[in-house]
Structure 1
């Protein structure tokens, strides 16, 4: 079921098959898997190359052995599968048609160290009643605080469209935007800073247009709400291993542990240089992360100097740390599976995996313990990994005091810095799916697409769009895309925003 106002973007029309076109997909994350799926379903001979030993990209996972001898699956952290992720869910339905791989979280709780607490369960799903319901029951928003809000500057949030929002707001950073609207400080910290840091960057380094688009996607523009689902099993078991089998069943060659060194133009198509092979292809999908894409483009003489310069200018968000602890005793039974936090030093959220994930739940049941994961996004300059680990753990003890007496059975830590950064002013030069090089397309959450999508859904959407671009060039039918409404939710809200709203000013 979709929001009745969800927007269908028709795929290209044409023949049913591309008659064995050869395509190399570079990158086995969500974007690469989405592109490979549609291309294989249209008869392409696809080789999928992934440099890691597992699929899924930043939503991947791998086996580890704990100190007590247990086998567990480590990942790069919690991911929320929101109900408005239409294209990602379309991809997953290939291997999970009934949706059993995902389980619903009852709420999206947010805690501030100052004592403010929010949640989104039980709110109306229709805008603007969802926002009004949130305001009326929120302990954070007080009537006298709201009188300070610059209503005219806030009204454009009721009519966010892409790419218009970027034309209007991309020059501002998200923190400055919120200051100019004059949202109450507590509301700023809870309802906006928590969300913006989900993009792995502090609001001062993030485009205001990205924040406005996110508010549209998850709140005022969609009736799907802010509640979400999570994977009931570790990502490889629930999602990517079944999808790999689906792809190989359609003739896709899936090669993990296979970095691509260079892509070059051949007399007919491309040559893709691997460590042990150099397959040729009619087309190439580059679905690598920022660092991988920059390195590959630098080593490959493709497209135009201007395009290569735009790729080189892409940047990554600051480092983030995921710390997972296997503890010898449980957390309180009423602790949520996921908790967003603000004001707790470096800590941005806490996940109790045994509240919802079968593997973690089995370990906790067998040992009487708990599996807890901590995230710290946008780590400050100069903070070492050891210091960040210690500070996250100390804040866990503040948030959930019962963990202070727990013994750590084992722990795993992932410090990474490979998420795309969407800085102010970056939209005009952000690379798009189509490139100046015929037969070469991009996909991934770093890629510009003129639709209101974000995070995992941007990856899936650009993967489908990349396949569609190639199929369209070959006269072959593609796949439809879906998105939340591409403008304000209703005519009254749009009229208010367009007639009385204005861009925020200092």
Structure 2
């Protein structure tokens, strides 16, 4: 537990109470700073859990619901550090003691033909790169990839892992994952296993628009964790209860004990800007009342879709460069929970439905929770919660032939259930059937599925499209007392995740402490593992990139053959000296 410093007279207003806002409040309060956090909707932001009103009977709690299941990959280091500092009775490791290892990943296939179960536990010991490829559902023969496809994808990973930082920002940031992985002309199986599966089931982004910088970086980080490189941590962890119960509620209690003022129901309407920076924030309360919040410094920890509304209300006046955030794109990754009358663990971990047109992922939650689910939640007949994320909302389904955005809520639930059954039933085994289904709950942040008007998602997720890095703000702004935090702010984890939000908040706090002259030590911002064995290869690539030359291992795929039988060369954009990396 960090030592709390004595107050230094610095007042900070944190605008937004999601992961970024609560992280910033923690770091500041531990350094004796006077902190006020305002949040319009609920503590924890998109990470919070909720419940289905009126479903509890006989003294039981209402059935738990959420925006989507939470998981903590092994390369998350900043966020677990925060969890360890949140006190929890009986746990010397704080709230981090509520994490449980998810030991397996199932790559489910239609009719269970060609499915693959992978042990990702720490107990499995050291692994080889070929085992990493198999963990992604990639193998040769049968329904799997051809040998040349598997080898080429291995080449793609090696190219990215040995690319210099300059090339990652200067070339791969401008290259879509579709183009980088050479999807054109490849087989459907290659698309599912290597191209689409690597994006939609993780970051809710289309491979055609998501940058290779982002997808390659995520697979690299996950791969090092799976291979046991760097800090040895479980590759996949989940909480032992609903997110708010196991994490957010103890966090809010801890912040209150540190003297943080937590004001729920207040929305930021406008920033007032003067010659010396931000002078105040105009707030609207839960009953429509208005008041001004004043502080010495401000941390804007609002989600990216809410930041846009402030651009014409003071934010752009504070820093005109922040207008670039309006170029950032969001997409939908939405949770739906199916409540089952019997335990259906499937596997002890996550399931990736590679043949699902809606890019489904799921986890059976009751097996990880430290309670008797049937005795704790609902009406006494519910024994499990199958939590599912829907990542593709524009692709026709298998039941109604419509994309999710055009379905009613009931049709979405029926379609998801059909796709789950397609991946988990077959070859003489029936994992799911209608008799198991008690009820379901679709994220209420999605509105208008039953009309009128087009469907709306109140809590979309940032997607890292090509060239989006330049539009993402830094923690420091042109206003000397305004700092940015959130999963869209530039940070070592180049992905809209809880870890990214946590890191961005730490960067904002460090910038604030430095600007104010506060004596508190800076917050630690963890970097991703970079193996020493690849350092020289990256240096060589940096030299090649500066000369405008391609990566030494970068070549066309076996299926890219011209009419003359010669393979088309891969080119480096940006002229003879190569592209310049955004700063």
TM-score category of the 2 structures, normalised to the smaller one: 0.7 to 0.9
Equivalent position SS for 2:336: strand
Instruction: Tell whether 2:64 aligns with 1:73.
Output: yes
Aligned match of 1:211 = 215
Match of 1:391 among 415, 418, 421: 415
Match of 1:59 among 17, 31, 47: 47
Stretch of structure 1 that moved more, 189-198 or 475-484:
189-198
Equivalent position SS for 1:204: coil
**Aligned-pair CA distance for 1:266:** 5.0
**Aligned-pair CA distance for 1:72:** 2.9
Match of 1:252 among 256, 260, 281: 260
**Aligned-pair CA distance for 1:337:** 4.2
Query: 1:18 touches 1:474 (CA, 8 Å); kept in 2?
Result: no
Query: 1:105 touches 1:230 (CA, 8 Å); kept in 2?
Result: yes
Matching of residues 111-126 of structure 1 within 5 Å: 111-113=108-110, 115-121=114-120
Stretch of structure 1 that moved more, 401-410 or 340-349:
401-410
**Aligned-pair CA distance for 1:90:** 1.0
Aligned match of 1:178 = 181
Equivalent position SS for 1:218: helix
Aligned match of 2:76 = 85
**Aligned-pair CA distance for 1:351:** 1.9
Instruction: Tell whether 2:129 aligns with 1:131.
Output: yes
CA RMSD of aligned residues (A): 3.2
Aligned match of 2:159 = 156
**Aligned-pair CA distance for 1:152:** 6.0
**Aligned-pair CA distance for 1:33:** 0.9
Residues 64-101 of structure 1, C-alpha deviations (whole Å, 9 max, x = no match): 33546342332111111122211101111111552321
**Aligned-pair CA distance for 1:336:** 3.6
Aligned match of 1:356 = 368
> In structure 2, how many angstroms separate the alpha carbons of the residues matched to 1:278 and 1:258?
11
| Unaligned runs of at least 5 residues, structure 1 | 1-14
Residues 37-86 of structure 1, C-alpha deviations (whole Å, 9 max, x = no match): 1111112111111111x211111022333546342332111111122211
Aligned match of 2:510 = 468
Larger radius of gyration: 2
Query: 2:222 touches 2:235 (CA, 8 Å); kept in 1?
Result: no
> In structure 2, how many angstroms separate the alpha carbons of the residues matched to 1:186 and 1:495?
35
Aligned match of 1:200 = 204
Aligned match of 1:145 = 146
Relative to structure 1, the CA distance from residue 368 to residue 378 in structure 2 (aligned partners, 3 Å threshold; closer, same or farther) is closer
Equivalent position SS for 1:91: helix
Relative to structure 1, the CA distance from residue 352 to residue 428 in structure 2 (aligned partners, 3 Å threshold; closer, same or farther) is same
Stretch of structure 1 that moved more, 235-244 or 488-497:
488-497
> In structure 1, how many angstroms separate the alpha carbons of the residues matched to 2:86 and 2:135?
40
> In structure 2, how many angstroms separate the alpha carbons of the residues matched to 1:341 and 1:227?
19
Residues 147-196 of structure 1, C-alpha deviations (whole Å, 9 max, x = no match): 35447655322225656412221111112221269987535523553342
> In structure 1, how many angstroms separate the alpha carbons of the residues matched to 2:304 and 2:214?
18
**Aligned-pair CA distance for 1:115:** 2.4
Query: 1:452 touches 1:483 (CA, 8 Å); kept in 2?
Result: no
Matching of residues 447-466 of structure 1 within 5 Å: 447-450=489-492, 455-466=497-508
Match of 1:443 among 464, 482, 485: 485
**Aligned-pair CA distance for 1:210:** 0.5
Stretch of structure 1 that moved more, 64-73 or 458-467:
64-73
Query: 1:364 touches 1:371 (CA, 8 Å); kept in 2?
Result: no
Relative to structure 1, the CA distance from residue 23 to residue 139 in structure 2 (aligned partners, 3 Å threshold; closer, same or farther) is closer
Match of 1:324 among 318, 333, 337: 337
Match of 1:34 among 16, 23, 28: 23
Comparing both chains, which one has the higher relative contact order based on Cα–Cα distances under 8 Å and sequence gaps of 6 or more?
A: 1
Aligned match of 1:288 = 302
**Aligned-pair CA distance for 1:125:** 6.7
> In structure 2, how many angstroms separate the alpha carbons of the residues matched to 1:134 and 1:228?
14
| Unaligned runs of at least 5 residues, structure 2 | 285-289, 395-402, 425-429, 447-456, 543-550, 557-569, 572-583
Aligned match of 1:7 = none
Relative to structure 1, the CA distance from residue 453 to residue 294 in structure 2 (aligned partners, 3 Å threshold; closer, same or farther) is closer
**Aligned-pair CA distance for 1:311:** 2.0
- How high is the TM-score relative to the length of structure 1? 0.86
> In structure 2, how many angstroms separate the alpha carbons of the residues matched to 1:63 and 1:500?
53
> In structure 2, how many angstroms separate the alpha carbons of the residues matched to 1:450 and 1:327?
40
Equivalent position SS for 2:129: helix
Query: 1:95 touches 1:243 (CA, 8 Å); kept in 2?
Result: yes
